[in-house]
A and B are shown apart, each in its own frame.
Chain A
């Protein structure tokens, strides 16, 4: 045990720590938290690196190394990146909702905090943060000496303006999926040039995550930013400046000489947008690009075998949801029965799915909600895994009154591996007598239509109105947003039309719980109820996988596929 660390920890516990923080140290000491669990939670609570390091040293754990990327390369050269697919729509941060845009923005943009590959939070434009006792207010101290590429110094005014735009209900902000019900316009207040206080609508112990790179719209822009000027460049604080952008074709970034993080190793980054996986794969193998922003296992097999290519991956909570309408007039009568939904879930051979669709770059899901075992500290790993059991599935169908099965169409978007997943689901349920023809539609069509009105009040879009469908969900460092939007009664993305008052209450309690023990307690109950009710099947949580040439060094993959290239080199 490290004496100096013990002294620092004791000093902090006596003078500064609140009960929640003390409970965190106790849990680590008692072995109830792993080292990583402790770091994830500690960084969200805003514990400084000194305190975290002192606690680890004092309690006999490995010293602090917050996933820093090693600097192995030499300065110079340009990185040629292929992004698939191209940005859809305006390159306007608060409107970001697709891969092309968020990746492009990540090369130059920065956030208050940064979500690391291991799930911990790191300071970025904020250097520290602290909450009040019930987590309804969070104060962020900002980094000094930062300048935007246009020369404007970074201050609290920029943070307030950015968050007002992100939370404006009339501005089309896509960040409302994270901030609705959490933060209103005017909720961020400047209390000094370098301090901002966020006053929340309800307690939220995970709020710092919402200010991080996982809310990819939350790039901090200057207070005098005018809409439409992001694509013209020089509006960000990151290691590279956007200097040219041609929609659908590419973008060019140059090193930001005044970056607060030091001198980026690369001279610049040249982005080429691709519409076809095969073209990007050929581009990487043929040496015309150095990196592909994402790869699929169906079209990217050649990359795994090539000696010229290295594969980067990051654990992620990204997943697919197979939602079954549990109520509303559009629902299939059979699917309203919990036993039928359980039977469908039991028909899937999940380890085989992971192997077949992801070549092992995924982990099996367990139908207990959007809780990734390797990402979410609060996930209850004691919930029994749901395994394929065709005998039990048939028994459940018979008990529900469908011994010979039934027929229902499975709707799914043509996106990444989803069509193959749909085919496997259809083939799996056939083994228990359910006929499930497929309705595979374009990604745009899947989300098209209205989201309110009509007979069900759920509009006309296929996603919320198909009796059974498959939806793509991106990585979230904490499960709050997905739980609230997809499992609370009336949630905007509740594709199963699921309604369970007990679950509603538990989710509300979870969102407000500050202590990790309390969060785990609520999540354990939520997971068990959701697994039993099975409104949604979670077949797997996949890793983010991308590929680069072997000359790329110092790069670490991000769970959302964002490209943080400040320490990357090609020499």
Chain B
């Protein structure tokens, strides 16, 4: 096996205390990161040039109206007080009032976040198994025509900007063939099957964007595993190819794939602005974009922090999964 884990101790004993320590440490790092993120998000939104009241009310509003607006919005208080007020509210689930729409931020971000989760879930269910399968087939048939076809197709789609992929899918599957709805939002009161049907086209776009990347990582890991001593030993023991691939190659090659997939979860939930715009989907990416465009600072800050939390949770879950699949990691990290 390669020397990737050479600094860790494969022979160390496993105890509950060590696992607990490992998780605690990871959680601590996540919280520190989140704190730094919250300060950065708040500072960058607060320090943007321009008076908030003036930006919202427009140039023709009187100074008096601007001052009243700023006072009511609480933005005339010291910045530290504003930060503490915001972050304590965020922790309690009170995200404040949208400056743009004058309604609770949570009433807008909540449904958008759930929508993003739905789209991410459908895309995830499609792209992860498909990419792993593609990477596995390509890795096992290294150098063959199949390998080249999978690799080149995947890379090509990844290289195409997402708005191009999305528009082509809309044109072909939505308008020319009429197979799928071109908007991602199902009519009010639709059942789960209809909602999934509406989410298929944007999910296909995401599959094309992510397939090449995830499949390539899986392929590389598969090749590494196929060449590893334990695989050779397994064959020598007389196991069938299916047993070797299922029990040794796939299991070992999933580790880097999990890391890659975990990082994409954050993107799938918070980074789909282009997809959300083109499929007119009320996701969190579009909410954040609109908030930034209209200087709705309360919505912008909470939206960005929420996406940050998603990224960190996804990474934390990946770390835990990783450590469950590979004990050497938790001991190395817990030291």
Please determine whether B287 and A286 come into contact, CB atoms closer than 8 angstroms.
no
Please determine whether A89 and B101 come into contact, CB atoms closer than 8 angstroms.
yes
B103 in the interface (beta carbon within 8 A): yes
Please determine whether B280 and A279 come into contact, CB atoms closer than 8 angstroms.
yes
Q: CB-CB contacts of A436-450 with B at 8 A, as 1s and 0s? A: 000000101001111
Given A170-B64, A283-B182, do A448 and B282 touch, yes or no (CB 8 Å)? no
- A275→B274 CA distance, assembly (Å): 11
A288 in the interface (beta carbon within 8 A): yes
Please, which residues of chain A bring their CB within 8 A of the CB of B64? 170
- A270→B188 CA distance, assembly (Å): 10
Please determine whether B167 and A442 come into contact, CB atoms closer than 8 angstroms.
no
Please, which residues of chain B bring their CB within 8 A of the CB of A282? 170, 174-175, 182-183, 278
- A169→B111 CA distance, assembly (Å): 37
B3 in the interface (beta carbon within 8 A): no
Stretch at the interface among B71-79, B122-130, B288-296, B327-335: B288-296
For residues 88 through 113 of chain B, which have their beta carbon under 8 Å from a beta carbon of chain A?
A: 98, 100-103, 108, 111
Please, which residues of chain A bring their CB within 8 A of the CB of B143? none
Q: Nearest Cβ in chain B — how far from A292, in angstroms?
A: 12
Total A-B residue contacts, Cβ distance less than 8 Å: 101
Q: Nearest Cβ in chain A — how far from B281, in angstroms?
A: 9
Please, which residues of chain B bring their CB within 8 A of the CB of A90? 101-102
Please, which residues of chain A bring their CB within 8 A of the CB of B54? 448-450
Please determine whether A279 and B183 come into contact, CB atoms closer than 8 angstroms.
yes
Most buried by B among A172, A228, A270, A272: A172
Please determine whether B182 and A288 come into contact, CB atoms closer than 8 angstroms.
yes
Given A170-B64, A170-B65, A274-B280, do A89 and B100 touch, yes or no (CB 8 Å)? yes
**Contact among B57, B279, B290 for A279, CB-based, below 8 A:** B279
Please determine whether A172 and B98 come into contact, CB atoms closer than 8 angstroms.
no
B277 in the interface (beta carbon within 8 A): yes
Please determine whether B277 and A88 come into contact, CB atoms closer than 8 angstroms.
no
Please, which residues of chain A bring their CB within 8 A of the CB of B294? 88-89, 444
SS class, residues of chain A in contact with chain B: loop
Please, which residues of chain A bring their CB within 8 A of the CB of B290? 86, 248, 275
B244 in the interface (beta carbon within 8 A): no
B236 in the interface (beta carbon within 8 A): no
Please, which residues of chain B bring their CB within 8 A of the CB of A444? 55, 293-295
Please, which residues of chain A bring their CB within 8 A of the CB of B98? 247
Q: Nearest Cβ in chain B — how far from A259, in angstroms?
A: 24
**Contact among B57, B185, B277 for A275, CB-based, below 8 A:** B277
Q: CB-CB contacts of B293-313 with A at 8 A, as 1s and 0s? A: 111000000000000000000
Q: Nearest Cβ in chain B — how far from A29, in angstroms?
A: 46
Please determine whether B293 and A442 come into contact, CB atoms closer than 8 angstroms.
yes
A491 in the interface (beta carbon within 8 A): no
Please determine whether A248 and B280 come into contact, CB atoms closer than 8 angstroms.
no
Q: CB-CB contacts of A145-171 with B at 8 A, as 1s and 0s? A: 000000000000000000000000110
**Contact among A274, A280, A450 for B59, CB-based, below 8 A:** A450
**Contact among B55, B65, B183 for A283, CB-based, below 8 A:** B183
Given A276-B277, A276-B278, A279-B277, do A286 and B182 touch, yes or no (CB 8 Å)? yes
Please, which residues of chain A bring their CB within 8 A of the CB of B295? 444
A451 in the interface (beta carbon within 8 A): yes
Please, which residues of chain B bring their CB within 8 A of the CB of A97? 58
For residues 230 through 248 of chain A, which have their beta carbon under 8 Å from a beta carbon of chain B?
A: 246-248
Please determine whether B102 and A448 come into contact, CB atoms closer than 8 angstroms.
no
- A358→B185 CA distance, assembly (Å): 32
B271 in the interface (beta carbon within 8 A): no
Residue of A nearest to B55 (CB): A448
- A411→B111 CA distance, assembly (Å): 39
A133 in the interface (beta carbon within 8 A): no
Please, which residues of chain B bring their CB within 8 A of the CB of A412? none
Q: Nearest Cβ in chain B — how far from A152, in angstroms?
A: 24
Please, which residues of chain B bring their CB within 8 A of the CB of A249? 111, 282
B114 in the interface (beta carbon within 8 A): no
B62 in the interface (beta carbon within 8 A): yes
Q: Nearest Cβ in chain B — how far from A345, in angstroms?
A: 28
Please determine whether A248 and B182 come into contact, CB atoms closer than 8 angstroms.
no
Please, which residues of chain B bring their CB within 8 A of the CB of A228? 102
Please determine whether B280 and A275 come into contact, CB atoms closer than 8 angstroms.
yes
Please, which residues of chain A bring their CB within 8 A of the CB of B286? 248, 275
Q: CB-CB contacts of B163-179 with A at 8 A, as 1s and 0s? A: 00001001000110010
Please determine whether B167 and A248 come into contact, CB atoms closer than 8 angstroms.
no
B60 in the interface (beta carbon within 8 A): yes
Q: Nearest Cβ in chain A — how far from B297, in angstroms?
A: 14
Q: Nearest Cβ in chain B — how far from A271, in angstroms?
A: 12
Q: Nearest Cβ in chain A — how far from B285, in angstroms?
A: 11
Q: Nearest Cβ in chain A — how far from B180, in angstroms?
A: 9
Please determine whether A451 and B108 come into contact, CB atoms closer than 8 angstroms.
no
A461 in the interface (beta carbon within 8 A): yes
Residue of B nearest to A445 (CB): B50
Please determine whether A248 and B287 come into contact, CB atoms closer than 8 angstroms.
yes
Please, which residues of chain B bring their CB within 8 A of the CB of A396? none
Please determine whether A279 and B278 come into contact, CB atoms closer than 8 angstroms.
yes
Q: Nearest Cβ in chain A — how far from B303, in angstroms?
A: 12
- A170→B279 CA distance, assembly (Å): 41
B325 in the interface (beta carbon within 8 A): no
Please, which residues of chain A bring their CB within 8 A of the CB of B277? 275-276, 279
Please determine whether B59 and A447 come into contact, CB atoms closer than 8 angstroms.
yes
Q: Nearest Cβ in chain B — how far from A520, in angstroms?
A: 32
For residues 24 through 68 of chain B, which have their beta carbon under 8 Å from a beta carbon of chain A?
A: 50, 54-62, 64-65
A300 in the interface (beta carbon within 8 A): no
Please determine whether A286 and B102 come into contact, CB atoms closer than 8 angstroms.
no
Q: CB-CB contacts of A494-516 with B at 8 A, as 1s and 0s? A: 00000000000000000000000
Pull 20 A–B residue pairs with CB atoms less than 8 Å apart, ordered by A: A86-B290, A88-B100, A88-B294, A170-B65, A247-B101, A247-B108, A248-B101, A248-B108, A248-B282, A274-B280, A275-B290, A279-B277, A279-B280, A280-B280, A282-B174, A282-B182, A283-B183, A286-B175, A449-B50, A461-B59
- Known A276-B277, A279-B182; further 6 A-B contacts with Cβ < 8 A: A248-B290, A275-B290, A278-B167, A288-B181, A447-B59, A451-B59
Q: Which 3 A-B pairs have the closest CB atoms?
A: A286-B182, A451-B59, A247-B101
Q: Which residues of A pack against B, CB within 8 Å?
A: 86, 88-90, 97, 169-170, 172, 176, 228, 246-249, 252, 270, 272, 274-276, 278-280, 282-283, 285-286, 288, 442, 444, 447-451, 459, 461, 492
Q: Which residues of B pack against A, CB within 8 Å?
A: 50, 54-62, 64-65, 98, 100-103, 108, 111, 167, 170, 174-175, 178, 181-183, 185, 188, 277-280, 282, 286-287, 289-290, 293-295
